Amino acid sequence: MDAADRVSKAFGMTDEVWQRHANPWSVWTRFAAIPLLLLAIWSRTWIGWWSLLAVAAVVVWLFVNPRAFPPVREPRGWTARGIYGERVWVQHRDLVTPDHRAVLRLLVTLGVIGFAMIIWGLIALQVWPTLFGATVVVLAQLWRIDRFGWLWERHEAQRS
């Protein structure tokens, strides 16, 4: 068992869970959880420590989410191909070309910058860095899914 398999197993990502994770409902409801998490954290100004319950609810949902929807056995849709490509990335990094790796590093960097802006906005209770950071994170993640979809298509072409 290599490192990628150990990571997948550590997070409970079996074959079945990956297939459920690829369900479009799973993908889009994870995106919908982003503003809910931001609101839950921001709500500390209104409801104090009770906001931790809202944060915990979103975190539990994010853990349950990849297991909550029917599996996608044949990735035909954009989101499903992207998640299947993510799995290829985790299990077969040797298939990823250097230019593709560079784009993925850029997207991770953008995501980290966006996340840092979210943290700044939430600590300072400033709307613009929170929303701008969330926008950067979402756009980077959407682009990442698109790149992983490309990786899935390349992987399938090599298998044929």
**How many angstroms from the chain centroid is the CA of residue 118?**
16
pLDDT at 7 over 60: no
Cα 51 to Cα 46, 47, 80: the distances in Å are 8, 6, 33
Residues of 80-114 as b/e, b for ≥16 C-beta within 10 angstroms?
bbbbbbbbbbeeeeeebeeebeebbeebeebbeeb
Q: What pLDDT, in 10s, does the model give residues 32-77? A: 999 999 999 999 999 999 999 999 999 999 999 988 999 999 999 9
- Domain-wise residue ranges, the chain: 3-159
Q: What pLDDT, in 10s, does the model give residues 92-121? A: 777 788 888 899 999 999 999 999 999 999
CA distance linking residue 152 with residue 86, whole number of Å: 8
CA distance linking residue 74 with residue 81, whole number of Å: 9
pTM for this prediction: 0.87
Q: What percent of the chain has pLDDT over 70?
A: 92
Q: How confident is the model at residue 10 (pLDDT cuts 50, 70, 90)?
A: very low
32: exposed, middle or buried (C-beta count within 10 Å: 0-12, 13-18, 19+)?
Answer: exposed
Q: Given this model, what pLDDT does residue 15 score?
A: 86
Q: What pLDDT, in 10s, does the model give residues 132-159? A: 999 999 999 999 999 999 999 988 888 8
